[in-house]
């Protein structure tokens, strides 16, 4: 184990280049699993530092910094943007567009802060490279695509990530959020929720509105499903457990006097406990199929849209990190917090090789902004705009000391 030194302090040159890097990335986002230019840019920066690099999982990039014998430590940053029209008014605001899988063109924005994550990851790689004389071991930098769709970590693992890169003893990751700049928040144990999203197509029988007896009305059927689904959390999940079930969309029909042949809705499920997730998913299938049977309709079609694994912080490693962050940032800037209902696929990277991981949050807004009558916008908002400093510097300091806390001391 080693600790951060004054050699790792960001110089004015480092800071200026980091800010320009961030502004460039913010202005040039790409959609999930389409991060071709972003991946090329990241690999170019890692190549300039002399790291071994390879692509993985389509648009994922891995950089390996070997520095003699010692522990292997992993660090992950996600790289994709969102289909959002940016409305921040920043001079470096995104005007980029992309295409969804259905071919439609949409605006693209780094509305979740992944531009911040890439910037922090690349700057951390630079600092470790320039200060090899203070540590020993191997740092593995994982720039992962497709976090927003839950596809990226899975794609990298299935593409042989851990056959191509040294297997780390621990993997770290972090995420900017609408908290106070200069602070970090760490959870022990469960850090973020698991998430599952489904598309449900309810099959009925079409008829003219004046002849309802000849129909099997999919709208009425689906409406009963939606209402009954809301009882799962209130009547089937233990009161001391957490779950959220959201119906996000509902579509059916084209004209007011025609009973359509089908209806479609999508839903999202958030849970912390794997047993609760299994219960909720099972109950959803039971209710959906039973309501169809009660209407004399065919079995509905259920398609999985996304699935996010549990994001679990190894308690011992998280406890160590709280102390490390306190020493680096000041103990009044470091908080232990309960898990959040947001979801991440980060945990799959460590789960695939059976090693611990820790994921934390760092704030992106000033106290003045947080105290204002109109608090700053959160992640996934068209107005999401973390202040550049001390946000970026805090992220870099946290990443550097986390990795150094597990890397070896130079001989």
Contact 293, 261 (CB under 8 A): no
Closest CA to 269 of 182, 320, 196, 319: 196
Asked which of 5-19, 187-201, 290-304 is least confident by mean pLDDT, the reply is 5-19
* pTM of the model as a whole: 0.93
Query: Of the listed 35, 80, 86, 115, which one is catalytic?
Result: 80
* Residue 316, in any domain of the structure: no
pLDDT tens for each residue of 353-404: 999 999 999 999 999 999 998 889 999 999 999 999 999 999 999 999 999 9
Residues 138 and 36 placed together within one structural domain of the fold? yes
Residues 132 and 168 placed together within one structural domain of the fold? yes
* Residue 330, in any domain of the structure: no
* Residue 317, in any domain of the structure: no
Quick one: pLDDT band at residue 231, thresholds 50, 70, 90?
very high
The mean pLDDT value of the chain amounts to 96
Q: What are the start-end ranges of the E strands in 181-225?
A: 184-186, 189-203, 207-208
Contact 67, 49 (CB under 8 A): no
CA atoms 376, 378, 384, 386: torsion sign: positive
pLDDT of amino acid 8: 79
Residues 153 and 258 placed together within one structural domain of the fold? no
For the residues 290-305, what does the mean pLDDT come to? 97
Q: What is residue 165's three-state secondary structure?
A: coil
pLDDT tens for each residue of 200-211: 999 999 999 999
Closest CA to 206 of 214, 194, 196: 214
Query: Of the listed 30, 115, 147, 148, which one is catalytic?
Result: 147
What CATH number is associated with residue 271?
Answer: 3.30.70.360
For residue 3, pLDDT over 50 is answered with no
Question: What Å distances lie between residue 231 and 224, 225, 287, 292, CA to CA?
Answer: 11, 10, 10, 17
Closest CA to 401 of 52, 1, 80, 62: 1
DSSP alpha helix (H) spans, 199-273: 218-229, 231-235
* Residue 266, in any domain of the structure: yes
Residues 227 and 280 placed together within one structural domain of the fold? yes
Contact 85, 109 (CB under 8 A): yes
pLDDT of amino acid 410: 81
pLDDT tens for each residue of 10-21: 999 999 999 999
* Residue 293, in any domain of the structure: yes
pLDDT of amino acid 9: 83
Question: How many domains does the chain contain in total?
Answer: 2
Residues 99 and 159 placed together within one structural domain of the fold? yes
Quick one: pLDDT band at residue 193, thresholds 50, 70, 90?
very high
| Domain of 296, in residue numbers | 194-307
Q: Which of 286, 307, 328 is the last residue of a domain?
A: 307
Share of the chain above pLDDT 90, in %: 95
Residues 165 and 46 placed together within one structural domain of the fold? yes
Residues 282 and 364 placed together within one structural domain of the fold? no
* Residue 321, in any domain of the structure: no
Active site includes 80?
yes
Residues 171 and 208 placed together within one structural domain of the fold? no
Residues 76 and 124 placed together within one structural domain of the fold? yes
Residue 272 CA neighbour count, 13 Å, CB half? 15
Active site includes 147?
yes
Q: What are the start-end ranges of the E strands in 48-183?
A: 52-56, 60-67, 72-78, 97-99, 105-107, 135-144, 170-180
147: Cβ contacts below 8 Å, ≥ 6 apart: 32, 78, 79, 80, 114, 153, 344, 345, 346
pLDDT tens for each residue of 85-99: 999 999 999 999 999
Contact 71, 21 (CB under 8 A): no
Residues 31 and 149 placed together within one structural domain of the fold? yes
Q: Which of 259, 289, 307 is the last residue of a domain?
A: 307
Residues 64 and 207 placed together within one structural domain of the fold? no
Q: Which of 262, 286, 307 is the last residue of a domain?
A: 307
* Residue 360, in any domain of the structure: yes
Residues 161 and 16 placed together within one structural domain of the fold? yes
* Residue 130, in any domain of the structure: yes
């Amino acid at each position: 184990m080693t600790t951060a030194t004054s050699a790792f302090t960001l110089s004015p040159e480092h800071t200026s280049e980091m800010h320009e890097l961030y502004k460039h990335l913010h202005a040039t986002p790409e959609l999930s699993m389409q991060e071709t230019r972003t991946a090329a840019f990241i690999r170019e920066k890692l190549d300039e530092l002399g790291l071994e690099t390879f692509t993985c999982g389509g648009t994922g990039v891995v950089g390996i910094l070997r520095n003699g014998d010692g522990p292997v430590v992993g660090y992950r940053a996600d790289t994709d943007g969102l289909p959002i029209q940016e409305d921040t008014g920043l001079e470096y605001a995104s005007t980029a567009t992309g295409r969804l899988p259905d071919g439609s063109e949409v605006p693209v924005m780094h509305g979740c802060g992944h531009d911040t994550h890439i910037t922090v990851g690349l700057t951390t790689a630079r600092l470790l490279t320039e200060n090899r004389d203070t540590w020993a071991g191997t740092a593995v930098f994982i720039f992962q695509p497709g976090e927003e769709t839950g596809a990226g970590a899975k794609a990298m693992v299935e593409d042989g990530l851990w056959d191509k890169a040294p297997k780390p003893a621990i993997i770290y990751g972090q995420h900017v959020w609408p908290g106070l700049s200069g602070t970090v928040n760490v959870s022990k144990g469960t850090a973020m929720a698991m998430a599952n999203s489904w598309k449900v197509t309810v099959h009925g029988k079409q008829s003219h509105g004046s002849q309802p007896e000849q129909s099997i009305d999919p709208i009425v059927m689906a409406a009963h499903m939606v209402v009954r689904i809301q009882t799962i959390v209130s009547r089937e999940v233990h009161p001391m457990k957490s779950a959220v079930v959201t119906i996000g969309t509902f579509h059916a029909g084209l004209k007011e006097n025609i009973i359509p042949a089908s209806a479609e809705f999508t839903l999202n499920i958030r849970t912390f406990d794997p047993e609760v997730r299994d219960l909720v998913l099972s109950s959803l299938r039971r209710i959906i199929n039973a309501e169809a049977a009660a209407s004399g309709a065919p079995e509905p079609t259920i398609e999985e849209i996304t699935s996010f694994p549990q994001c679990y912080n190894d308690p011992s490693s998280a406890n160590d990190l709280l102390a490390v962050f306190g020493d680096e940032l000041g103990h009044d800037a470091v908080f232990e917090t309960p898990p959040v209902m947001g979801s991440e696929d980060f945990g799959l990277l460590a789960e695939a090789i059976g090693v611990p991981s820790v994921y934390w949050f760092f704030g992106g807004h000033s106290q003045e902004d947080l105290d204002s009558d109109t608090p700053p916008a959160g992640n996934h908002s068209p107005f999401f705009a973390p202040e550049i400093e001390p946000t970026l510097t805090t992220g870099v300091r946290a990443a550097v000391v986390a990795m150094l806390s597990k890397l070896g001391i130079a001989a």
